[in-house]
């Protein structure tokens, strides 16, 4: 998958100003273009009326603007909207080949639940095409990893969700779509900087969450290099190494102890609590005894726990847990002083879990 050589969403004010200078134009034009793109949602140079005709022609001919095609736009009964998009290969005359899953990713807009006083619109975005981790219960990694997304293509997902009907403005961003964000470290960090920049999407850093399956060195590096106070979420999904290695092949060379140590460094350097993500699989990792084990892990961290009911994927053997098991698991954690929440299941009627829409499109094509 070839990236565009000069993508508008990869630019910063300085890099775009350099580009304008290189074509003999004024550097301040960069600020005008970025205002059109991020403040007004305009990506057609012909509509950027405060630019000269020469500058608009140069933008059209030399810079790639949105570079994906929407393959499917699904709407759920609870207001969730999900896009399956396919990326161009970087050659402007070439249109995407519909049905080529090696170039498809998903992104989701999740609004607040009715009655919630917070008017959140959360963008759940992908960092890779496919996923290298191969979690046994997840549709994202069924076909393995097809490639990394550039920073521009990560940012473009948030921009696209911002343009959907009834959205108005994305308020939160979570890197919980396809891929392992910390395995695409540089582009993810660059994307976060633009997502949070006042000249970019202007989303508060504390409203951005990076979710990782757990790469200790990358977690430590993120704490050192990313000066922005984002939230770190660790996809734990098991209370002990033996079960975690069954569910998450990548954890074969990483222990929970190593992850706890890396997360402790994160907290020491950022002051930000860790969120532990725990997908409950019926009869696999949802017993009261396993909740006790998980509580022992949690006591070693400044953390809170998000419990997530499994969304079943066709062809996989895992089951959604019963409500009784879920609440018993939560009660066991709370009895031991662990701050725990059960995440509301959203968008189930449109296959909104990671990789499901892409998987269904492939299996039915």
Instruction: For each of the domains in the chain, give its residue range(s) and CATH number, in order of start.
Output: 8-62 (1.10.150.530), 68-364 (3.20.20.70)
Query: Is the separation of the CB atoms in 127 and 188 below 8 Å?
Result: yes
Segment 187-197 mean pLDDT: 97
Separation between Cα atoms, residue 175 and residue 297, nearest integer Å: 24
What is residue 350's predicted lDDT score, i.e. its pLDDT?
Answer: 56
Output the CA torsion 201→207→211→216 (10° steps). Answer: 100
Separation between Cα atoms, residue 208 and residue 163, nearest integer Å: 19
Q: What are phi and psi of 245, to 5 degrees?
A: -70, -25
Residue with token string 């001919």: 61
| pTM assigned to the model | 0.90
Q: Chain-wide mean pLDDT for the chain?
A: 89
Write the pLDDT tens digit of every residue in 307-329.
999 988 888 889 999 999 999 99
Q: Which residues pair with 147 in a beta bridge?
A: 129
Buried b (16+ CB within 10 A) or exposed e, 174-192: bbbbbbbbbbbbebbbbbb
62: tokens are 């030399």
Q: Which residues pair with 80 in a beta bridge?
A: none
What is residue 3's predicted lDDT score, i.e. its pLDDT?
Answer: 58
Active site residues: 106, 354
User: In angstroms, what CA-CA distances link 150 with 38, 174, 180, 316?
Assistant: 18, 17, 13, 31
Write the pLDDT tens digit of every residue in 123-182.
999 999 989 898 999 877 677 888 899 999 999 999 999 999 889 899 999 999 999 999
What is residue 315's predicted lDDT score, i.e. its pLDDT?
Answer: 82
Q: How many helices (H) and strands (E) does the chain have?
A: 11, 12
């Amino acid at each position: 998958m070839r990236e565009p050589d000069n993508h508008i969403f990869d630019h910063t004010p300085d890099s775009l100003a350099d580009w304008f200078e290189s074509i003999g134009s004024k550097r301040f034009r960069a600020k005008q273009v970025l205002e059109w793109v991020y403040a007004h949602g305009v990506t057609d140079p012909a509509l950027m009326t405060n630019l000269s005709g020469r500058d608009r022609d140069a933008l059209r001919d030399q810079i790639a603007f949105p570079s994906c095609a929407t393959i499917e736009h699904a709407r759920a009964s609870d207001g969730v909207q999900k896009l399956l998009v396919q990326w161009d290969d970087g050659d402007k005359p070439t249109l995407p080949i519909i049905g080529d899953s090696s170039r498809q990713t998903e992104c989701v807009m999740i609004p607040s639940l009715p009655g919630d006083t917070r008017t959140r619109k959360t963008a759940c975005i992908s960092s890779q095409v496919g996923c290298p981790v191969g979690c046994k219960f997840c549709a994202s990694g069924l076909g393995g990893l097809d490639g990394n997304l550039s920073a521009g293509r990560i940012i473009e997902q948030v921009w696209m969700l911002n343009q959907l009907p009834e959205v108005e403005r994305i308020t939160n961003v979570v890197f919980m779509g396809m891929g392992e964000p910390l395995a695409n470290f540089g582009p993810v960090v660059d994307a976060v900087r633009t997502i949070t920049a006042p000249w970019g999407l202007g989303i508060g850093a504390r409203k951005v969450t990076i979710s990782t399956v757990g790469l200790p060195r990358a977690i430590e590096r993120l704490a050192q290099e990313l000066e922005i106070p984002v939230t770190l979420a660790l996809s734990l999904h098991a209370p002990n190494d033996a079960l975690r290695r069954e569910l998450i092949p990548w954890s074969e060379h990483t222990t929970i102890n190593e992850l706890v140590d890396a997360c402790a460094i994160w907290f020491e350097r950022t002051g930000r609590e860790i969120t532990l993500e725990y997908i409950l699989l019926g009869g696999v990792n949802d017993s009261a005894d396993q909740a006790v084990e998980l509580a022992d892990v949690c006591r070693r961290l400044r953390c809170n726990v998000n419990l997530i009911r499994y969304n079943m994927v066709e062809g996989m053997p895992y089951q959604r847990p019963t409500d009784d098991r879920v609440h018993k698991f939560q009660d066991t954690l709370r009895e031991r002083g662990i701050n725990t929440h059960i995440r509301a299941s959203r968008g189930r009627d449109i296959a909104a879990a990671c990789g499901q829409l892409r998987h269904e499109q492939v299996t039915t094509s």
